[in-house]
């Protein structure tokens, strides 16, 4: 490069003095330098479309957000390195995918190994915080694979969620998404946290949210879920529903439709564009008009929870206790629960000795 500069100084002085103006001469020299820049002076990964000025700015790299799309066995997400929570989590549900014997009792919440230590949440952040670890891609959507279920317990898929909301309304919403696979061949779901502004007494809008633990994990004020359902590949109509749910207890007296919002409103709230590859020619129907958007009521949900308890009973004493609790609530068992109860009773009776102790 030095030899080129010496030649250029001589040539530049001759040409500039004899032929062109000083301004044109300087521009010519700059152009010559740009075109004859040696490879070692350019970043190895320089984009040929970038201007020389842009290449210099990015010589040592530009800041990284960590928000790139991350792929797992059965879900996909974008991570927020500031809030230590996902920005969004996407899934595809089908009747086939929901079958399987994977059990969450073998899973443990833990940091995502693909997230840098400086940006990950930890279990200690949640411990004693008063908030539960709420799945965005639920474990219940991943019974087909032990690996996929275990990956839903990565803290990259978790947000601080109100306990009652997590176990109640949000749980029933997740169950509704799974039930949709009985009517639709394909169901796509995108879920995530939101922090929305509130109007104060002075009429001004402010954004305020709690953070927990040493990692300052952000507690969302709301959660969103977008559902896109398709009857089959040849269908020209898609069913779409977008919902924004407060991160607080929600009783059985509230319906899912109370929390339905337009997709455009949710996109403005979240800063995200959902399902950008949907063909504009496709008809987008309202999910709550094409389907009921009905969540389990108190009786249905109680029978469901009792069924889970009965199925996991490890002693006759516990089994009878669960059925007695149901009777005290005045809820008669349905045929499914009665059949499950009898099967479990026979199974446990064979395992237990006459003195009531379990056989080894």
The answer to whether the annotation marks 166 as part of a ligand binding site is yes
Catalytic, out of 75, 135, 222, 294: 135
* Residue 294 annotated as catalytic: no
Helix (H) or strand (E) holding 360: none
Residue 328, exposed/middle/buried by CB under 10 A (0-12, 13-18, 19+)? exposed
CA–CA distances in Å: residue 262 to residues 221, 224, 257, 279, 280: 19, 12, 11, 18, 17
CA–CA distances in Å: residue 47 to residues 38, 43, 70, 255: 16, 9, 24, 52
Q: Is 203 left (phi over 0), alpha (psi -120 to 50) or beta?
A: left
Gyration radius (Cα) of the chain, Å: 30
Helix (H/G/I), strand (E/B), else coil: 307: helix
Beta pairing partners, 194:
222
Q: In this structure, are residues 287 and 227 in contact, taking their beta carbons and an 8 Å threshold?
A: yes
Inter-helix orientation angle 2-18/22-35, to 10°: 150
Q: What share of the chain is helix, strand, coil (3-state, %, to 5)?
A: 40, 20, 40
List residues forming the annotated binding site: 166
List residues forming the annotated binding site for Mg(2+): 166
Instruction: Give the active site residues.
Output: 135
């Amino acid at each position: 490069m030095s030899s080129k500069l010496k030649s250029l100084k001589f040539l530049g002085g001759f040409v500039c003095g004899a032929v062109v103006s000083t301004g044109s001469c300087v521009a010519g020299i700059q152009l010559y330098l740009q075109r004859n820049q040696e490879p070692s002076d350019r970043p190895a990964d320089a984009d040929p479309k970038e201007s020389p000025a842009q290449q210099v700015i990015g010589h040592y790299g530009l800041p990284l957000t960590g928000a790139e799309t991350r792929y797992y066995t059965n879900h996909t997400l974008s991570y927020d390195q500031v809030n230590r929570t996902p920005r969004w989590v996407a899934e595809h549900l089908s009747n086939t995918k929901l079958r399987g014997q994977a059990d969450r009792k073998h899973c443990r919440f833990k940091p995502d190994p693909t997230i840098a230590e400086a940006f990950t949440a930890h279990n200690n952040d949640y411990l004693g915080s008063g908030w539960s670890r709420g799945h965005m891609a639920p474990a219940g959507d991943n019974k087909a694979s032990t690996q996929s279920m275990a990956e839903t317990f990565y803290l990259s898929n978790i947000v601080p969620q109100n306990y009652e909301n997590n176990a109640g309304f949000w749980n029933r919403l997740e169950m509704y998404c799974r039930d949709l696979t009985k009517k639709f061949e394909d169901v796509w779901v995108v879920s995530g946290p939101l922090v929305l502004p509130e109007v104060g007494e002075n009429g001004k809008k402010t954004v305020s949210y709690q953070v927990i633990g040493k990692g300052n994990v952000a507690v969302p004020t709301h959660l969103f879920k977008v559902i896109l359902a398709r009857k089959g590949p040849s269908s020209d109509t898609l069913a779409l529903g977008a919902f924004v749910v407060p991160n607080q207890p929600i009783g059985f007296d509230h319906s899912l439709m109370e929390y339905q919002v337009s997709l455009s409103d949710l996109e403005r709230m979240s800063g995200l564009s959902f399902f950008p590859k949907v063909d504009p020619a496709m008809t987008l129907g309202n999910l709550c008009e094409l389907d009921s958007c009905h969540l389990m009521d108190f009786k249905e949900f109680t029978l469901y929870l009792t069924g889970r308890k009965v199925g996991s009973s490890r002693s006759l004493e516990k089994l009878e206790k669960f059925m007695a609790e149901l009777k005290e609530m005045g809820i008669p068992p349905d045929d499914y629960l009665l059949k499950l109860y009898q099967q479990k009773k026979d199974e446990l009776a064979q395992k237990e000795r006459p003195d009531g102790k379990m056989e080894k």
